[in-house]
Structure 1
């Protein structure tokens, strides 16, 4: 769990250290802007925004048990990043499968971002369509 917070922790520490140094130099506006930017960036890359990925087999098992949708995604995919940003706090209500970490998932979706729920497959759905699945 702690490892997943590593990058966010570094960003929060950077914001606190550099922002504190700017405050000591009486640069209030610069300190506030710097701390705000890096703290926001720390939240964006945190597990709150990017829940832990599971394998395709585990996601299928969990989805069958709890009825939550499965999202197949990959790093540096603009659609995936937009979807995760649009879902923000709801991202934890989905099972995320990183197709770059799971070869069987990659083979099944052929590197196309996909959402699956109870046999219904959506390819590159809008955030509103995924929100409807989450409800």
Structure 2
């Protein structure tokens, strides 16, 4: 995860820059079934977000914990205006709506 190797994998710093530029950042970790469901539900739309693995970037893990009452809960979706844990079955639709109006990510 993400299974799609084209999804833009970025560092915490790059994710925050993308969010500041009206983008969508998705924080995930390997083996997370909710992350897998979100990725599967987004399909090609997932290319428009940046993706940051919290197990590979300690700053990202700390940031996610700061947003979620001290818990490193994923998938956490972040925009300039909001953040939420995208674990519900309707999460792909919520994220797709955010991506429709967001600055697209550039692949790295």
Paired residue total: 89
Stretches of structure 1 lacking an aligned partner (at least 5 in a row):
1-43
Larger Rg computed on CA atoms: 1
The structure with the largest helix share of the pair is 1
Q: Normalising to structure 1: TM-score of the pair?
A: 0.60
What is the CA distance between 1:52 and its match in structure 2? Answer: 3.5
**Structure 1, residues 9-47: CA drift from partner, whole Å, max 9, x if none?**
xxxxxxxxxxxxxxxxxxxxxxxxxxxxxxxxxxx9342
CA RMSD of aligned residues (A): 1.7
Stretches of structure 2 lacking an aligned partner (at least 5 in a row):
66-71, 101-108
Aligned partner of residue 129 in structure 1, secondary structure:
helix
- Which one has more relative contact order, counting CA pairs under 8 Å at least 6 apart? 2
Q: Is the 8 A contact 2:18 2:25 kept in 1?
A: no
Matched, 1:83 2:38: yes
Aligned partner of residue 96 in structure 1, secondary structure:
strand
Q: Normalising to structure 2: TM-score of the pair?
A: 0.74
The 4+ residue runs of structure 1 with deviation greater than 2 A are none
Residues 120/100 of structure 1: CA separation in 2 closer, same or farther (3 Å cut): same
Q: What is the rounded CA distance, in whole Å, between the counterparts of 2:36 and 2:8 in structure 1? A: 14
